Amino acid sequence: MQKINRCKWAKKNSSLLKYHDKEWGTPVFNDQKIFEALSLEIFQAGLSWEIILNKRNEFRHAFDNFNYNLVSKYDESKLISLYNNKKIIRNKLKIRSIRNNAISFIEIRKEFKSFNKYIWSFTENQVIVNNYKNYKEIPVTSNLAIKISYDLKKRGFKFIGNIIVYSFIQAIGIINDHTTDCFRYKDLS
């Protein structure tokens, strides 16, 4: 049996392995999936990605499958129910930011016809392929992430610093940060 090389972080457990092999770094163009990825990155801030993946289905259920149109209309009673939902991360600032960001997400869609056209315009629809040999070389942010974070904040997004944005653009495949020995690096380059 041939050994499959993967990014070192993905080898910690089966949920990370599955996410790495099937999703992370794969270009995403579906607005609802992009909104989900952005929202999950916000919830992940300060926590491990494993925690978020283990609660992902609960997040989907709690946030109406990350339907930004529905999320943008959440009233105070819905927000309170989310604060009390023990199956998700109950951080009030993060929860409020998701509703707020859904509203701003819709505004960007109006201007650009889709959020994916907006977000991919920062790289002229090209994937940035980095050539890191070791996961320790991978930065936590970049000039691109700083630029996108600044623009999103200007457009009303909350809880959207450049480190969150960098993780987000890695997740949706704008940046390919799979290490050069990883089979996904080769698949996506």
- Tens of pLDDT, residue by residue over 57-111, are 999 999 999 999 999 999 999 999 999 999 999 999 999 999 999 999 999 999 9
Residue tagged 């259920």 (tokens): 61
Determine whether 49 is an active site residue.
Answer: yes
Mean pLDDT of the chain: 96
Q: Hey, what are 109's tokens? A: 């869609």
Determine which one of 24, 36, 49, 68 is catalytic: 49
One-letter identity of residue 134 = N
- Domains of the chain in sequence order: 8-188 (1.10.340.30)
Please tell me the predicted confidence (pLDDT) of residue 116. Answer: 98
One-letter identity of residue 35 = F
Which whole number is the average pLDDT over 44-61? 96
Q: Is 108 exposed, middle or buried (0-12, 13-18, 19+ CB in 10 A)?
A: buried
User: By the 8 A CB rule, do 131 and 96 touch?
Assistant: no
> Measured between alpha carbons, how far is 42 from 165 in angstroms, rounded to an integer?
9
pLDDT of 128 strictly over 90: yes
One-letter identity of residue 149 = S
Residue tagged 């494993």 (tokens): 50
pLDDT of 12 strictly over 90: no
pTM value > 0.75: yes
Determine which one of 24, 41, 120, 132 is catalytic: 41
pLDDT of 1 strictly over 70: no
CB atoms within 10 A of CB 150: 13
Determine which one of 19, 23, 50, 58 is catalytic: 19
DSSP-assigned letter for residue 47: S
